[in-house]
């Protein structure tokens, strides 16, 4: 066993942990980053599957995500826009395929009117919510008591409108059933992206990608840290007192003045704390859980849908794959589609054999793009639910009432232990941008403490 001494030990080499480590280094503090996996990046993972480069985890950057944009620029990475020329596709309750352009789904004028009105209401509410302190809104308790589903049903009885409104924060973002989280949680999601309308606008929320893959962000951040990133070393225990911490893996013991837990909150309990974490954290952490979505990749010899005048952007709250996009790599002749299967649909699919699952998903994609979608050259499902060191996708959210009850202590340090990850972010919540913001925040808090 090796024994190491550092100012700060960072647990987790995702975007949050690696950002914090670099910031601390810049401020003159010594760091070590312990990573459970044999790679860095966590939920960022660009891999080559059967000859195709795929973004198995996070990939898109939106225009409001300044922290991530600054990092991408600082690392000298290039970005490119998602292909979006042509018509989008929407499938309604009758299964008919409708082409459209712009943000509004091609629904009946009556349904369109309801969607527009409720969207306006949601934008007004989200504008009042500070994403860093949603619990501080005067109506936070009230909004955390009603489910997203129940609130939508209070606004209208138009089922198609409800399904389309529910979609943006539910199926597409928190990836939990709409009865499983509150209106307040939904408003946090919207406020963290600037507005509810931003979330609905695919051209905004899924704007840019990084040439060569977004995992380069953590890879390059780790490169700057050199030997101070230790892979394949899950932290098993953490002893702590006001004087500092001792983090232990199967091979290494690290003594430090401060620790940063830079991973999903559902994994805090994988670490044995001595003394135990305080009552408040024990309680709080139990009320956060991961959503669940399967990201599906299908690569074809060419982007055949473009020949039909389609952009590749497709939505339907009635389809197994509720959204899908052209995800062709920069400069690639082949065409890639990415589809998503969320919450209970994802549960149901994993009851099936791999062959049946593939058939069902490709069948759903073929409803949007035609029969050619059924025969990709490369097919792959990102299943983050079976990843021990993540346990779901995209990120964590509170159960009913949890955000108002516990939110204010989400980022509160416990003695020398600080918490940072995208799941705890305000602006950029659940996104890489939020992970970077949290990494910067805890680094500055520790630098301040270290100076006094």
Interacting residue ranges for ligand FAD, rule: CB under 6 A? 11-17, 34-37, 42-44, 57-60, 234-235, 262-264, 267, 270-271, 295, 382, 384, 389-390, 393-395, 421-422, 430-433, 435
CA nearest neighbour of 428 among 45, 47, 58, 51:
58
Q: Which is nearer to ligand FAD, 163 or 263 (CB)?
A: 263
**Three-state secondary structure call for residue 360:** helix
**Nearest-approach distance from CB 452 to ligand FAD, in angstroms:** 27
CA quadruple 199, 201, 203, 209: dihedral, nearest 10: 10
CA nearest neighbour of 214 among 40, 439, 12, 59:
59
- What is the Cα–Cα distance from 393 to 45, expressed in whole angstroms? 13
Give the helix, strand, coil percentages of the chain, each rounded to 5: 40, 25, 35
**Nearest-approach distance from CB 113 to ligand FAD, in angstroms:** 31
**Which residue has 């932290």 as its token pair?**
235
Q: Which is nearer to ligand FAD, 15 or 114 (CB)?
A: 15
**Nearest-approach distance from CB 215 to ligand FAD, in angstroms:** 9
**Nearest-approach distance from CB 159 to ligand FAD, in angstroms:** 29
Q: Strand 272-274 relative to strand 237-241: parallel, antiparallel, unpaired? A: parallel
Q: Which is nearer to ligand FAD, 158 or 381 (CB)?
A: 381
Contact criterion met (CB below 8 Å) for 382 and 388: no
Q: Which is nearer to ligand FAD, 42 or 92 (CB)?
A: 42
**Nearest-approach distance from CB 123 to ligand FAD, in angstroms:** 22
> Which two structure tokens, joined as six digits, stand for 389?
């060191």
**Three-state secondary structure call for residue 141:** helix
Q: Which is nearer to ligand FAD, 21 or 365 (CB)?
A: 21
Q: Which is nearer to ligand FAD, 334 or 391 (CB)?
A: 391
CA 162 and chain centroid, separation: 24
Q: Which is nearer to ligand FAD, 15 or 122 (CB)?
A: 15
Q: Which is nearer to ligand FAD, 77 or 97 (CB)?
A: 77
- What is the Cα–Cα distance from 266 to 425, expressed in whole angstroms? 15
Q: Between the CA of residue 233 and those of 32, 211, 251, 258, 323, what are the distances in Å?
A: 12, 30, 7, 18, 37
Q: Which is nearer to ligand FAD, 126 or 210 (CB)?
A: 210
**Nearest-approach distance from CB 369 to ligand FAD, in angstroms:** 21
Specify the length of the chain in residues: 452
**Nearest-approach distance from CB 439 to ligand FAD, in angstroms:** 7
**Nearest-approach distance from CB 110 to ligand FAD, in angstroms:** 34
**Close Cβ partners of 219 (under 8 Å, ≥ 6 residues apart):** 40, 41
- What is the Cα–Cα distance from 110 to 162, expressed in whole angstroms? 13
- What is the Cα–Cα distance from 441 to 343, expressed in whole angstroms? 31
């Amino acid at each position: 066993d090796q024994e190491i001494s550092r100012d700060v030990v960072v647990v987790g080499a995702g975007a949050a942990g690696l950002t914090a480590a670099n910031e601390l280094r810049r401020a003159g503090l010594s760091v070590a980053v312990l990573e459970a996996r044999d790679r860095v990046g966590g939920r960022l993972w660009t891999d080559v599957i059967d000859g195709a480069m795929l973004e198995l985890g996070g990939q898109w950057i939106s225009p409001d995500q300044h922290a991530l944009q600054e990092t991408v620029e600082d690392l000298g990475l290039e970005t490119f826009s998602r292909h979006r020329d042509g018509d989008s596709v929407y499938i309604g309750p009758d299964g008919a395929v409708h082409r459209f352009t712009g943000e509004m789904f091609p629904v009946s004028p009556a349904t369109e009117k309801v969607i527009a009105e409720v969207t306006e209401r949601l934008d007004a509410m989200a504008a009042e919510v500070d994403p860093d302190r949603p619990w501080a809104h005067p109506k936070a308790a009230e909004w955390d008591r009603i489910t997203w589903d129940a609130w939508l049903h209070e606004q209208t009885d138009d089922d198609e409108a409800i399904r389309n409104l529910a979609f943006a924060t539910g199926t597409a973002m928190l990836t939990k059933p709409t009865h499983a989280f509150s209106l307040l949680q939904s408003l946090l999601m919207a406020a963290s992206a600037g507005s509810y309308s931003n979330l609905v606008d695919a051209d905004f929320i899924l704007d840019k990608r990084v040439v060569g893959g977004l995992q380069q962000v953590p890879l390059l951040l780790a490169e700057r840290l050199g030997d101070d990133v230790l892979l394949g070393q899950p932290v098993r225990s953490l002893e702590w007192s006001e004087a500092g911490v001792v983090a232990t893996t199967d091979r290494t013991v690290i003594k430090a003045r401060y620790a940063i837990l830079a991973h999903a909150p559902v994994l805090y309990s994988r670490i044995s704390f001595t003394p135990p974490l305080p009552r408040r954290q024990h309680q709080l952490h139990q009320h956060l859980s991961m959503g669940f979505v399967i990201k599906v990749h299908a690569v074809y010899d060419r982007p055949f849908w473009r020949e039909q005048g389609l952009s590749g952007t497709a939505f339907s709250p009635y389809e197994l794959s509720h959204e899908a996009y052209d995800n062709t790599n920069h400069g690639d002749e082949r065409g890639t589609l990415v589809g998503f299967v969320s919450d209970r649909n994802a549960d149901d699919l994993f009851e099936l054999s791999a062959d049946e699952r593939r058939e069902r998903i490709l069948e759903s994609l073929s409803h949007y793009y035609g029969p050619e979608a059924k025969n990709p050259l490369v097919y792959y499902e990102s299943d983050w639910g079976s990843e021990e060191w993540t346990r779901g996708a995209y990120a964590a959210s509170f159960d009913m009432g949890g955000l108002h009850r516990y939110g204010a202590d989400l980022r509160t340090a416990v003695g020398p232990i600080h918490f940072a990850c995208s799941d705890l972010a305000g602006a950029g919540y659940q996104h890489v941008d939020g992970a970077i913001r949290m990494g910067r925040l805890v680094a500055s808090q520790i630098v301040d403490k270290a100076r006094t």
